[in-house]
Structure 1
Amino acid sequence: MVNEFPQALTIAGSDSDGSAGMQADLHTFFVRKTYGTSVITACVAGNSYGIHDSVTMPERFINQEFKDLADDFKIKAAKTGMLDDTNMIKLVVENYKKYDFGPLVVDPVIVTKHGNMLLKEDALATLIEKLVPLATVITPNFYEAEKLTNKEIKSDKDIKQAAQALIKMGAKNVIIKGKHIAGETKQVKDYVLLESGKDFWIDGPYYDTTHKNGTGDSLSAAITAEIAKGTSIEDSIRIADDYVDKAIKNGIEVGHKFGPINHWAE
C-alpha cells in the first residue's frame, strides 16, 4: 500500500562532512529502517578540522520544503536539529503546527558537550517558549539542561529537578544526556523522565575517542525513527541509547581530527 513504509523527517542543517546535522540524521534513519525525509534549514561548509562557512536557507524555500513533504508523504515522526536564531525557530514551529508530521523529538542544539555555545542567546527564550512545548521527547545534553532551566547542575538530584522543570515547560518526555569530561569521566549516566512519571537512569562506559561527532543528532534521530515505526517512547529511548553507545564504541576512521561515529556498528 502507498505510504505504509515508516517515514521520518529531520528539520536541520546540512553538514558537508557528513558527521553531524541532517546527514547524521539520515544515516540513522536508514540504519533504523525508516525512510528519511528532510527540511534543510541551513548548509554548513566544514570538515573534521572545523566549520568554515555557512548559509541559511530562504524562508520561502523552507516553507516550500514543508509543503511538498506534506503533499506527498505520510511522515510518522519528526525531529529538529540546530535552529540558529529566533526567526528560524518561529518559522519551523509555524510549519510544524500547520502540517501533520507526527510526534516531535526536539534536540535543543544550544551548547556542545564541551560547553561551547551554538545558539544565539536571544533565541533561547524563543526556543523555550515556542519549541519546547511541542516536544514529545526532548534530548538536551548536560549543559543544555542547565541553559534551559537556568540552574546549575551539580548532582543527580539536580538532574532530576531539571527534567521535572522541562516537563513543566511543556515537554512530554525527557532524556538528559550525562556530562562528558575527557580524562575524568569513566561512566556516562543519562536520565530519563517519562510523561507517566516513570523515571530511570541509563548507564554506560565513557569512550575516550575524538570520533564522537553527531552523537546527539544520532540519538534524537534514532528515537524519531523508532517512534515512526510505532515503538513505545520508553523503548525508543532505550534502543536509541544502545545504538549510539555501539556506534561510539565501534568507531570508524574517517577524517583527520574530530570524526563521526559508526552508524553501522552492531
Structure 2
Amino acid sequence: MKQVLTIAGSDSGGGAGIQADLKTMTNFATYGASVITAVTAQNTLGVQGVRVMSRNVVARQLDSVLTDLSFSAAKTGMLANQDIIEVVVEKTQEYQLKNLVVDPVMVATSGDVLLEEEAISSLKEQLIPLAKIITPNLKEAKVLTGYEKEATIELKEIAQELFQLGPEAVLVKGGHSQAEQAVDMFYDGTQYHELSAPRIDTNDTHGTGCTLSSAIASNLALGYDLLTAVKRSKEFITKAIKEGVKVGTGNNPVNHLVKVN
C-alpha cells in the first residue's frame, strides 16, 4: 500500500485539516500518516482556539515518521508560522521527500487567520520551490503574487506568476468566484489546462482545499502523472461537495467518503 504524509493542523470538528486528509487518503486506498502542526478548537461554526506546536515537536514528529515509513507523496496544509515552515523545509530536503503538494493555507473558510503574515516570505522563498504542485485558492494566489488589490485578474496570468516561484506545477482554484462554473487553472510551465465543473449551490464547503490537496497527493502516490492526478482529484472534490454531509449547524464539510472513480 502506498504511503502518504500530511503535515497540517488538526480540526476537532473533523471536516478539515489532518482529519480530512486522512479520510481522503484512506478513501483512495493509500496509507495516511500525519505530522500535526497545530491543534484547533474548531467546529462547523468556526475556529474557537488554536495552539501551535513548537518547532521541536514538529521536528520530532517528522523524524519519527520519515525514519520509519516510506512515503510516495506528501502534502502540507496549515503551517502556522515561520519556524514550522523552516523545519518542514529542512526535513523535506534531509529526507528527500518526493511528490510534495503544498496547499498554502492562510485563512480558514470561517475567516480565521491560519498563517502569520511574516511567514509568507518563508513559504514563497523556501517551501514552494520544493513543491511538485501548489494549490492556492484565488485569494491565496493574489497574496503570494502581490495582486491583493486587483479586483479581477486572469487565472492564466496569476498561474504564470506563481510558477515563477519555483514549483513544478500550479493549480489556482477559482471556486471562490461567483461565476456559474467553478474553474481551476493548471499550469506546468508549458501548458495551461482549464478544469471546470458546474457551481454547486451550497455553503457546505468546509475542508474543500484540504480534501483536494490530499486527493492530489494520494493520486501522485498511486503513480498518476500530475495532470491526471489533478483531474481525478477535481472530479472527486466536485462529487464530495455535491454530496456534502450535515453534521453541524454551520458551514458543514464535504463528504470525504464519496466513491472514488
**TM-score normalised by structure 1 residue count:** 0.92
**Distance in 2 separating the partners of 1:216 and 1:30:** 17
Aligned-partner SS, 2:166: coil
Q: Distance in 1 between matches of 2:68 and 2:114?
A: 33
User: Structure 1: 5+ residue runs without aligned partners?
Assistant: none
Residue 100 of structure 1 deviates from its aligned partner by 3.1
Residue 63 of structure 1 is matched in structure 2 by 59
User: In the alignment, what sits opposite 1:90?
Assistant: 86
Q: Deviations over 1:76-110 (max 9, x none)?
A: 10110011111111121111111133211000012
Partner of 2:3: 7
Tell whether 2:50 aligns with 1:54: yes
Aligned to 1:76, the other structure's residue is in SS state strand
Q: Percent identity?
A: 40
How far apart, CA to CA, are the structure 2 residues paired with 1:10 and 1:101? 12
Cα distance in 2 for partners of 1:126, 1:153 equals 26
Evaluate the alpha carbon distance shift between residue 16 and residue 114 of structure 1 in structure 2; reply closer, same or farther with a 3 A threshold. Answer: closer
Correspondence 1:1-266 to 2 at 5 A? 5-112=1-108, 117-151=113-147, 152=150, 154-155=152-153, 158-181=154-177, 184-195=178-189, 197-266=190-259
Per mean C-alpha deviation after superposition, the further-off stretch among 67-76 and 12-21 is 67-76
Task: Tell me, in whole angstroms, the C-alpha distance in 2 between the residues paired with 1:246 and 1:209.
Answer: 13
Structure 1 SS opposite 2:67: helix
Moved more, 54-63 or 127-136: 54-63
Secondary structure at 2:71's aligned position in 1?
A: coil
* Contact persistence 1:213–1:261 (CA under 8 A): yes
Which amino acid is the alignment partner of residue 45 of structure 1? Answer: A
Q: Which amino acid aligns with 1:58?
A: S
Q: Is the 8 A contact 1:149 1:166 kept in 2?
A: yes
CA contact (8 A) 2:52 2:80 kept: no
8 A Cα contact 1:74 1:101, kept in partner: no
Change in CA separation of 1:18 and 1:113 when aligned onto 2, cut-off 3 Å: closer
Q: CA offsets per residue over residues 120-156 of structure 1, 9 Å max, x none?
A: 221111111111111110000011111111123614x
Summarize deviations over 1:6-30 as a string: whole Å, max 9, x none: 0000000111110001111101100
CA displacement at 1:117 relative to structure 2:
4.7
Distance 1:48 1:113, change over 3 A: closer
| Contiguous gaps of at least 5 residues in structure 2 | none
CA contact (8 A) 1:113 1:143 kept: no
Give the AA of the match of 2:238: D
Cα offset, 1:179, TM superposition = 4.2
Structure 1 residue 61 displacement after superposition: 2.0
| Distance verdict in 2 for CA 1:153–1:237, change over 3 Å | farther
Distance, in Å, in 2 between the alignment partners of 1:153 and 1:105 is: 28
Q: Distance in 2 between matches of 1:96 and 1:20?
A: 23
